[in-house]
Amino acid sequence: LLVSVATPGCDGFPSLDSKESCKYWGLEREQPCSLLPCALCVQYYVNETEIVDFPRFRHRGLLLDTSRHYLPLKAILQTLDVMAYNKFNVFHWHIVDDPSFPYESVTFPELSRKGAFNAITHVYTASDVKAVIEYARLRGIRVIAEFDTPGHTLSWGPGAPGLLTPCYSGKNLSGTYGPINPILNSTYEFVTRFFQEVSAVFPDFFLHLGGDEVDFTCWKSNPKIRAFMQEMGFGDDFTKLESFYIQRLLDIISSFGKGYVVWQEVFDNGVKVRPDTIVHVWKENATPYMQEMAQVTKAGYRALLSAPWYLNHISYGQDWMEAYQVEPLKFEGSPEQKDRVIGGEACMWGEYVDVTNLTPRLWPRAGAVAERLWSNATVRNLQDAYVRLASFRCELLRRGIQAQPLFTGYCDHEFSGF
């Protein structure tokens, strides 16, 4: 059985510009499922066949959140396996957030020592991180790490004294903390050293810098912050203070030769970003997300869509259909604007998800998003997609992946890992 793949080899890391179009002759490991009943592959001979396959969008990502709940290394690696089966090519690792800081930093080991749920059992060591990156690379998956600032950083506080803004209750310190303190030089010294490490550890050209949901309450309560606002002429507009921080952060990241992805607020607030910035659209309300896609691309930035693909939002029934029916380019805009939509990401935020329910909640639902991002815009028939997804789900069970059913029925090989 002769298998040849026309795409050249894959030493080095995949990137946003990696060519993913392939020409297959004969059979490739993952491919034959669309040609043959898979369990029978090994016993079959196939007439010469030619497959030309290429993705519609270059960035087909999946976000996991390892801060709200810790996910063991094994769960991340298994997710990368299933991502590869689905032709996802970006693992967006939302690694730290308010609730916990599981990333073990070499430069600032106190961050996880004091910020992880458990400094021994609930952390990602340098070698864990390397393992994830290499496992992903071998599957053609990029790892984009997100260290979200200046909000979503409560867990940074205990290990980085002075980094967060102390909140006030009237004239007194309240004992609680807010976002990163943007008015101190020490903040930027810390941020520089921390992101220098992160830039080295994660080889992808892009970092995700977050920038979403900054709560101004604490900043407003702090007299030193208010004085700084006056001094800078920001008036009462705290988005200006936020932008002041983000601006400096972006310059720091640029100085390390990295590109960045930011959540849409950074764009909405008018922060001056580099022209090659990727804006990540996630809000479902306020500005309808398709309007946001139009605005982002009209401003010349590249856009990533996640708003309709929050897979942590569950409902009764076949909710994959809604995710599948999304058309990422369905907004008013020029062909150039459409070209700036580089893809999207399915998100599995962790408020209600940990290793006990991650896999069934993710698969095969995320497969609907994967197909939307890979296949031609004309591939939209729900009945056909159901048949593919249901049969793919049975394949997952055969491989020991705890993927949940789409609807009533059974598979020849049921999940055996129970």
Q: Report the candidate in 38, 47, 159, 182 with the shortest Cα–Cα distance to residue 110.
A: 159
The least distance separating its own copies from the CB of residue 260, rounded to whole angstroms, comes to 27
Q: How many residues contact its own copies, by CB under 8 A?
A: 44
Q: Is 345 a catalytic residue?
A: no
Burial of 148 (0-12, 13-18, 19+ CB in 10 A): buried
SS3 label, residue 16: coil
Among 312, 337, 366, 372, binds its own copies (CB under 8 A): 312
> What minimum distance in Å lies between the beta carbon of 65 and its own copies?
10
Of 213 and 251, which CB lies nearer to its own copies in the complex structure? 213
Give the binding range for its own copies (CB under 8 A) out of 33-41, 67-75, 150-158, 367-375.
67-75
For 351-356, the CB contacts below 8 A with 24+ separation are 351/68, 351/312, 352/312, 353/65, 353/68, 353/69, 353/312, 354/69, 354/70, 354/71, 355/69, 355/71, 355/72, 355/75
Residue 91 and residue 142: Cα distance in Å, rounded? 6
The verdict on 87 binding its own copies (CB under 8 A) reads: no
Out of 213, 322, 332, 414, which one is annotated catalytic?
A: 213
**Radius of gyration for the alpha carbons in the chain, expressed in angstroms and rounded:** 23
Evaluate whether 294 touches 337 at the Cβ level (below 8 Å).
yes
Distance of closest approach, residue 307 Cβ to its own copies, in angstroms: 15
- DSSP three-state, residue 94: strand
Is the Cβ of residue 277 or residue 359 nearer to its own copies in the bound state?
A: 359
Tell me how far, at minimum, the Cβ of 29 lies from its own copies, in Å: 24
d(CA 205, CA 16): 9
Would you count residue 391 as binding its own copies (CB under 8 A)? no
Site membership for its own copies, residue 99 (CB under 8 A):
yes
Q: How far is the CB of 404 from its own copies (least distance, A)?
A: 4
> Interface with its own copies by CB under 8 A: which residues?
68-70, 72, 74-75, 99-100, 117-118, 121-122, 312-318, 350-357, 359-361, 397, 402-410, 412, 414-415, 418
| Active site amino acids | 213
